[in-house]
């Protein structure tokens, strides 16, 4: 999604790329644990925390998109896409929280 930002919107692009790296790192760590037959349990609370912060970024991005407060006034992504990403993120958090409760 970082590619959809225009000149003047570099701060958004930079933050999006930082989120991409952080989430990819977590995904890779979980993949290694899975392939080594280790429990994913230690990653549940970490994942919830990261996904909640990611959701906060998406909420801020959606607000900036709908209020046209992003520098340059527009970007090449529709607010509905960001809204969809927020809903997917919320669903993922719910699943992780259920898993967390089952593990306790």
Single pTM value for the model: 0.82
End-to-end CA distance of the chain: 36
User: b vs e for 26-64, b when ≥16 Cβ sit within 10 Å of the residue's Cβ?
Assistant: eeeebeeeeeeeeeeeebbeebbebbeebbebbeebbeb
- pLDDT-derived band at 75, boundaries 50, 70, 90: low
- Would you state the pLDDT for residue 49? 95
| pLDDT in the model for residue 81 | 87
Q: Looking at per-residue confidence, does 73 or 99 come out higher? A: 99
């Amino acid at each position: 999604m970082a590619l959809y930002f225009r000149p003047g919107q570099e701060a958004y692009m930079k933050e999006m790329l930082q989120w991409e790296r952080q989430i990819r790192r977590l995904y890779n760590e979980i993949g290694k644990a899975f392939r080594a037959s280790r429990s994913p349990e230690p990653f549940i609370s970490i994942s919830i925390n990261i996904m909640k912060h990611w959701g906060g970024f998406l909420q801020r991005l959606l607000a900036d998109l709908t209020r046209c407060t992003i520098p340059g006034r527009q970007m090449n992504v529709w607010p509905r896409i960001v809204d969809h990403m927020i809903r997917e993120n919320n669903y993922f958090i719910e699943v992780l929280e259920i898993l967390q409760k089952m593990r306790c």
